[in-house]
Amino acid sequence: MEAFLVSLSTVAIAEIGDRTQLLALVLAAHYRRPWPIIAGIVCATLVNHAVAGFIGERLGSFLTPARLDAVVGVSLIGMALWTLKPDKIDEEGAEPRRASAFIATCIAFFVAEIGDKTQIATMALAAAYSNLATVVAGTTLGMLAANAPVVFLGSAFSARLPLKAIRIGASLLFLALGAVFIWRAVERG
């Protein structure tokens, strides 16, 4: 249960103000069809995070528990710093005109997630926890938890949130989680 909850909360928080959340807003404004967009987000995230988790799990099997905790801790501290930098998207590339809402969302989200902090977090979490399915389920639901409100509420949602304050809060949370994993590494080492 810990792997699921940590995965869900880590990705949900990391996603706030992220480029894929902005992409969800652009797609919602363009297509005005929330359910196909939500379905596209789920499908793209499942595939992307399953691949990231698989890679993370394989890399994690080569590390001792203490080293693994240290790597996850450093990764989370890196995410804390990364979270402070707001993401921007290229408006032209974010509005596919010819594909359906579902297909456009699948492609756009899959590509936007490559190398994104939530994908990196998924790799680190899969390395830290032994249950790949639980981690991928948690990260996918975390992505959905952060993006579904944006899709349904559109621009009114993004205009009212204090994104800078949320980024700072998320950064502090990642910093704390990173410190916990590093502390565990020190205790095990």
Residues 6+ apart with CB under 8 A from 121: 10, 11, 14, 75, 76, 79, 139
| 112 contacts 49 by C-beta, under 8 angstroms | no
Q: Supply the DSSP symbol for 146.
A: H
79 backbone φψ class: left, alpha, beta (φ>0; ψ -120 to 50): alpha
**CA 41/CA 138 separation, integer angstroms:** 14
Establish how many alpha carbons lie within 13 A of residue 174's alpha carbon, considering only the half-sphere containing its beta carbon.
30
Count of Cβ atoms closer than 10 Å to residue 100 Cβ: 13
Predicted confidence at residue 89, as pLDDT, reads: 47
Longest dimension (CA), the chain: 55
With CA atoms as reference, report the closest residue to 139 among 162, 113, 169: 113
From residue 24, give the alpha-carbon distance in Å to each of 17, 49, 152, 182, 188.
11, 17, 10, 34, 41
Predicted confidence at residue 50, as pLDDT, reads: 96
Predicted confidence at residue 157, as pLDDT, reads: 56
Predicted confidence at residue 57, as pLDDT, reads: 87
Domain boundaries, the chain: 2-188
Establish how many alpha carbons lie within 13 A of residue 59's alpha carbon, considering only the half-sphere containing its beta carbon.
19
Predicted confidence at residue 97, as pLDDT, reads: 46
Q: Beta strands of 45-101 (E only): which ranges?
A: none
Q: pLDDT of the chain along its 189 residues, tens only?
A: 899 999 999 999 888 877 788 788 878 877 778 899 999 999 999 999 999 999 988 887 777 778 777 877 887 787 678 767 765 544 444 444 445 889 989 988 888 888 788 888 899 899 888 899 999 999 999 999 999 998 988 755 555 656 677 668 767 877 887 898 899 889 987
